[in-house]
Homo-oligomer: A and B are copies of this chain.
Amino acid sequence: MNSILPLLRGASLRTPLKLSSRIVPRAFISTIPTSVADFLNFKPQDAVSDVNINGFVRSVRAQKRYHFVSLGDGSSLESLQAVVPADQAEGLSIGAAVRLHGSWIPSQGRGQSHELQVERAVILGPSDAKTFPLQKKYQTPEYLRTLPHLRPRIPFNSAVLRLRSEIVASLIKFFGSRDFVQTHTPILTSSDCEGAGEVFHVSAGDSARSSTESETPQPFFRRPVYTTVSAQLHLEALAQALGNVWTLSPTFRAEKSDTPRHLSEFYMLEAEISFTDKLGSVMDLVEDMLRHVCTDLTGSRSKNEILTRVGDGSSDLATAEQVSQRWDGLIREAWPRITYTEAIELLKQSEVPFIHRPHWGKDLHTEHEKYIAKKVGNGHSPVFVTHYPRDIKPFYMKTDAGNHDTATPCTTVECFDLLVPDFCEIAGGSMREHRLENLIESMHNHGMTPRITPDDTTEPSETVENNLNWYVDLRRWGCPPHGGFGLGFDRLICYLSGVQTIHDTSAFPRWYGRCDC
Residues of A whose CB lies within 8 Å of any CB of B are 35, 54, 56-57, 73-75, 95-97, 99, 124-128, 131-134, 148-150, 152-153, 157-158, 161-162, 164-165, 168-169, 172, 176, 179, 181-192, 197-208, 210-214, 216-225, 227, 233-234, 237-238, 240-243, 249-250, 252, 254, 256, 264-265, 267, 274-275, 434, 454-455, 462-464, 470-471, 473-481, 506-508, 510, 512-517
Q: Which one of B124, B186, B221 lies within 8 Å of A480 (CB-CB)? A: B124
Q: How far is the CB of A134 from chain B (nearest CB, A)?
A: 8
Q: Is the CB of B158 within 8 A of A242?
A: yes
A112 to B214, CA, bound (A): 64
Q: Is the CB of B172 within 8 A of A221?
A: no
Additional 20 contacts, C-beta under 8 A, given A149-B474, A238-B507: A97-B275, A97-B479, A125-B475, A125-B479, A132-B477, A149-B470, A152-B242, A153-B240, A158-B241, A168-B182, A172-B172, A184-B267, A187-B187, A201-B213, A201-B217, A204-B254, A211-B224, A212-B224, A220-B512, A221-B513
Q: Which residues of B contact A134 (CB under 8 A)?
A: 477
Q: Which one of B189, B233, B241 lies within 8 Å of A74 (CB-CB)? A: B241
A212 to B466, CA, bound (A): 13
Q: Which residues of B contact A265 (CB under 8 A)?
A: 186-188
Q: How far is the CB of A507 from chain B (nearest CB, A)?
A: 6
- Secondary structure dominating the interface of A: loop
A133 to B473, CA, bound (A): 10
Q: From A95, A124, A149, name the one whose CB has the most chain B CB atoms within 10 angstroms.
A: A149
Q: Which residues of B contact A455 (CB under 8 A)?
A: 131
Q: Is the CB of B225 within 8 A of A515?
A: yes
| Known interface pairs A149-B473, A165-B181; A207-B216 also in contact (CB < 8 Å) | no
- The closest CB in chain B to the CB of A237 belongs to B149
| Known interface pairs A207-B199, A223-B515, A513-B221; A74-B476 also in contact (CB < 8 Å) | no
A75 to B476, CA, bound (A): 22
- The closest CB in chain B to the CB of A55 belongs to B275
Q: How far is the CB of A222 from chain B (nearest CB, A)?
A: 5
Q: Which residues of B contact A201 (CB under 8 A)?
A: 202-205, 207, 210, 213, 217
Q: Sample 30 A-B pairs with CB under 8 A, ordered by A number.
A: A73-B275, A74-B181, A75-B243, A95-B477, A95-B478, A97-B479, A124-B275, A125-B475, A131-B454, A133-B477, A149-B473, A150-B473, A152-B237, A152-B241, A162-B242, A164-B182, A165-B182, A169-B182, A184-B506, A184-B507, A185-B507, A188-B227, A190-B517, A207-B464, A213-B219, A214-B216, A222-B515, A223-B515, A225-B515, A250-B250
| Known interface pairs A184-B507, A221-B515; A477-B127 also in contact (CB < 8 Å) | yes
Q: Which residues of B contact A480 (CB under 8 A)?
A: 54, 97, 124-125
Q: Is the CB of A188 within 8 A of B125?
A: no
Q: How far is the CB of A33 from chain B (nearest CB, A)?
A: 11
Q: How far is the CB of A272 from chain B (nearest CB, A)?
A: 12
Q: Which residues of B contact A471 (CB under 8 A)?
A: 149
Q: Is the CB of B162 within 8 A of A181?
A: yes
Q: Is the CB of B197 within 8 A of A207?
A: yes
| Known interface pairs A172-B172, A455-B131; A211-B463 also in contact (CB < 8 Å) | yes
A184 to B207, CA, bound (A): 26
A152 to B267, CA, bound (A): 24
A252 to B225, CA, bound (A): 13
Q: Is the CB of A169 within 8 A of B179?
A: no
Q: Which residues of B contact A224 (CB under 8 A)?
A: 211-213
| Known interface pairs A124-B481, A238-B152, A506-B184; A213-B203 also in contact (CB < 8 Å) | yes
A99 to B276, CA, bound (A): 11
Q: Which residues of B contact A267 (CB under 8 A)?
A: 184
Q: Is the CB of A128 within 8 A of B74?
A: no
Q: Which residues of B contact A219 (CB under 8 A)?
A: 213
Q: Which one of B161, B165, B217 lies within 8 Å of A213 (CB-CB)? A: B217
- The closest CB in chain B to the CB of A223 belongs to B515
- The closest CB in chain B to the CB of A514 belongs to B221
| Known interface pairs A158-B242, A210-B201; A478-B172 also in contact (CB < 8 Å) | no
A128 to B453, CA, bound (A): 11
Q: Which one of B152, B182, B508 lies within 8 Å of A186 (CB-CB)? A: B508
Q: Which residues of B contact A510 (CB under 8 A)?
A: 186, 188, 221
Q: Is the CB of B158 within 8 A of A169?
A: no
Q: Is the CB of B477 within 8 A of A128?
A: yes
| Known interface pairs A212-B462, A477-B132, A478-B126; A169-B165 also in contact (CB < 8 Å) | no
